[in-house]
Amino acid sequence: MATTEETAAAATTAAAPPTTTASAPTAAPSTPLPRVPIPPRGVDYRGKLVLAPMVRSGELPSRLLALHYGADLVWGPETVDHSLIGATRRLNPRTHMVEYTRQPSHSYSPANLQSDTNESVIYRLDPSREKNKLVFQLGTSDADRAVAAARFVAPDVAGIDVNAGCPKPFSVLGGMGAALLQTPDKLAGILEALVREITPAFGIGISVKIRLLETAPQTEALVRRLVRTGITGLTVHCRTTPMRPRERAIRGQLRMVRGVCHEAGVACLMNGDVEGRDQADALVDEFGVDGAMIATAAEKNPSCFRSGADGGLAGWQETVEKYLRYAMEVENKIANTKFMLAQMVPGKTAAYKALHQCRSYAEFVQALGHEGMREMARETDRVLGLGEFEVRREPKAKQKNKQQKAQNGQQESKKRKREAGAEAEEPAKRAEVAEPAPVAAPAAVAV
């Protein structure tokens, strides 16, 4: 039997207008979190699963393969500001890729003066397939250099990310990468300069990638300083600087970092032991972050960006074939292609062993059983001067001996010329000296 209160409540509900959703007081709506505005040409990192910046593993063919399998954004490998200042931008007429090139430091040596391939490509991007999806990661330790380098690349990319997490010696010794975690004011100054100079001029956002500090209060203080610079996104690699990839990521500080970012309206991505889209979705829900970044798993099998519902991980044969095709399309450096294939092909297969003997794209397609790409491989070899088209240089020691012999020969030739000249001059000198006049015989003396 209903109580008096229940009957009254039922009557009130029945008498309420149809548009009324509830008769009882409701809680006030929560205040929406602020959001740093996304510039007109920039990208919002929220809801994104992205390819991490990786040296060697983040070159153009790898990025294209990640996008093919569903990556929302791709980071290129860290590129140091010094290498961009004074570089040249060109459009490759064969591939239609944008290439940043510069003269290598040894290009003026006698061995290279006769070559027409002195320029080296320091960065390559696809202006069509990577449009609105490529984030350029910048290695820097100086605000002015960072701005100068960013001005050079900004028209071609959707965002610029400052590397403040790489622990590798080449980065840390230059005051870049993880070294910036120890100089938060310098790091903040670099970000502020980029936000001030690059965002209004080019309409793209600035972000930063960091690692955890030793304690949560230290990390919190750093993040609070960085989110006040005007950045649109922050990625936290859930490892400290001394930790290596084989050590499991630690996520105890992740909710705190996300909370600080959200208070300032900055998107927060997580990185570290994220192995695929389905796992990334679960981690985003668990920790409340805005998205995730995949590194090692994408290096081995870029189809990790594909959800289980869409097919999940592809077999290595499929990913390797697609990677090889992309590599040839963009004229990727053979050494980088070989490195990446070695990551993707299982180590116990016959194909893996055969890879180490390959020196050209034609040999790659043969070793991997992709005979249908033979002509494409041969043309790529011709353009890059590989395999049957390679002009082999003699070993340095042998080349040095030949140069020494040539120098000795030149010196010997000069010596012979000097000696021949001296011999030719001697008769001439003798001819110039007057012969003494003959002395007349004395007259006969009469007896």
Query: How far is Cα 118 from Cα 132, in angstroms, rounded to an integer?
Result: 32
Q: Is 358 noted as a catalytic residue in this protein?
A: no
- Is 138 in contact with 177 (CB distance < 8 Å)? no
Query: How far is Cα 318 from Cα 300, in angstroms, rounded to an integer?
Result: 13
Query: How far is Cα 22 from Cα 270, in angstroms, rounded to an integer?
Result: 40
Helix (H, G, I), strand (E, B) or coil at 139: strand
Sign of CA dihedral 34, 36, 41, 45: negative
Cβ contacts of residue 52 below 8 Å, gap of 6+?
58, 75, 271, 293, 294, 295, 298
- Torsions phi, psi of 313, nearest 5? -65, 135
- Is 118 in contact with 354 (CB distance < 8 Å)? no
CA 59 vs CA 31, 204, 376, 394: distances in Å: 42, 22, 20, 30
Helix (H, G, I), strand (E, B) or coil at 134: strand
The one-letter code for the residue type at 402 is K
Catalytic residue among 166, 238, 304, 358, which? 166
Length of the chain as a residue count: 447
The one-letter code for the residue type at 276 is G
CA 43 from centroid of its chain's CA atoms: 19
For residue 152, the number of C-alpha atoms closer than 13 Å in the C-beta half-sphere is 23
Helix orientation angle between 334-344 and 60-68, rounded to the nearest 10 degrees? 40
Known catalytic residues?
166
